[in-house]
Amino acid sequence: MISRIWRTRLAPYALILPGWLWLVIFFVVPTLSMLSVSTMTGNDLDGFKQTFHLSTYSDAWSEYHTQIVRSLVYGLIATVLCLVIAYPVAYWIAFRGGRYKSSLLFLLLLPFFVSFVIRTQSWEFMLDDHGMVLGTLRTFHLVGVMKTLHLVSSSGTILQTSTAVIGGLVYNFLPFTVLPIYVALERVEPSLLEASSDLYANKFHAFRKVVFPLSLPGIFAAVLLTFVPVASDYVNAQILGGTKNTMIGTAIETEYFTNLNYPVAAALSFILMAVLLIGVFLYARILGTEDALEMAAA
């Protein structure tokens, strides 16, 4: 009797216990701890005391809102660019990859075997004033056009502009966009395409009415996996950015490690987290799928 109750009622809870413990120890406790730190006052020398000082949040916002907004804008642009680049790549690998599928995916992940910092550093070499990118642009007399589009600085350089930072972000996070879309497209039954052509849909219609809607969960997951880390990235802006490209990640790092101002660093982290969550939920609503998270997980 007891063993039956155990099996039917308690066993599922026991099974997810390790997961819960993991979440509590490594997410809930640190989060609450940071939340508690964010309302403390004091300094590193005399110590920090809990005073429920909420205005740390408004102070942090008024000091760093430019960087927060900038991070969101960069995140948005980079995510859109990633989607535009990633979708055809994922489509091609899923439908035309054939027996080379796994090799192609491996190639896509290959840059990950090199350190993040070195990858970004090599962009610095490519984008510098005498590097190959500007060299090519000069050969084809495109620098003037780029200047009009504000893609290069007024003195015709790329490094230390937002173009360089967003470029680096797109490059570094592209695989996070490709993989979820690939997984979604991979699951589309080829017989569905045959069926749609039987029903007189041409290739474009088949894509628009069948393949694309089926890949939406993949796109949703891709946007989440790209936008969130991109908006909180702090390496690209530091290496490729200039005086007007600092992102919020860098500011948090400075507050924490350089100024040892733990409350402000914690408050900024929570502001960023809140803004990202609001963004994600709004996005889920606009996409029209209330249980979009569930879809993405499916």
Partner 1 sequence: MSELQLPPDLLRGLTTPRLTRRRAMQLGGMSALGLALAGCSISGSSPSASSGGKVSLEVAREQIATFWASQKKGSQLNFANWPLYIDVGSKNSDHPTLDMFTKQTGIKVKYDEVIQQDDTYYGKIAPQLKQGDGTGYDLMVITNGIYLDDLIERDYLIPLDQSAMPNFYAYASDLVKDTSYDRGNAYTMAWASGITGIGYDPKLVGKKITSWNDLLDPALKGKVGMFGDTEDLPNAALCAIGVNPETSTEADWKKAADWLKKQRPLVRKYYQQDYVAPLSKGDLYASQAWSGDIFQANANGAHLEFVVPDEGAPIWTDNMCIPQHAAHARDAMIYMDWVYQPKIAALLADYINYITPVPATQQIFAAEAKDATSSDDRDYYTTLSTSPLVFPAQADYSKLHRYRVLSAAELTTWNNLFEPIYQS
Minimum separation from the CB atom of position 158 to partner 1 (A): 11
Segment 157-160 long-range contacts (CB within 8 Å, at least 24 positions apart): 157/129, 158/127, 158/133, 158/134, 159/124, 159/127, 159/128, 159/129, 159/131, 159/240, 159/242, 160/240, 160/241, 160/242, 160/243, 160/245
Question: Residue 232 interacts with partner 1 (CB under 8 A)?
Answer: no
In this structure, which amino acid lies at residue 297? A
Segment 272-275 long-range contacts (CB within 8 Å, at least 24 positions apart): 272/68, 272/71, 272/231, 272/232, 272/248, 275/68, 275/72
Question: Residue 132 interacts with partner 1 (CB under 8 A)?
Answer: no
Using alpha carbons, select from 76, 37, 77 the residue that is nearest to residue 60: 37
Return the residues of window 149-168 that contact partner 1 according to CB under 8 A.
153-155, 157, 159-160
Question: Residue 128 interacts with partner 1 (CB under 8 A)?
Answer: yes
Smaller CB separation from partner 1, 23 or 260: 260
Minimum separation from the CB atom of position 53 to partner 1 (A): 13
Q: Which of 16, 50, 106, 285 binds partner 1 (CB under 8 A)?
A: 50
Return the residues of window 235-264 that contact partner 1 according to CB under 8 A.
238-239, 241-244, 246, 250-251, 254, 256-260, 262
Element (H or E) spanning 47, and its range?
strand 47-50
Angle between helices 116-127 and 132-139 (to 10 degrees): 30
Minimum separation from the CB atom of position 155 to partner 1 (A): 5
Minimum separation from the CB atom of position 166 to partner 1 (A): 16
First to last CA, the chain: 36
**Candidate segments 48-56, 86-94, 192-200, 288-296, binder of partner 1 by CB under 8 A:** 48-56
Question: Residue 113 interacts with partner 1 (CB under 8 A)?
Answer: no
Contact residues for partner 1 (CB under 8 A)? 29-30, 32-34, 36-37, 40, 42-50, 63, 66-67, 117-118, 121, 128-130, 153-155, 157, 159-160, 238-239, 241-244, 246, 250-251, 254, 256-260, 262
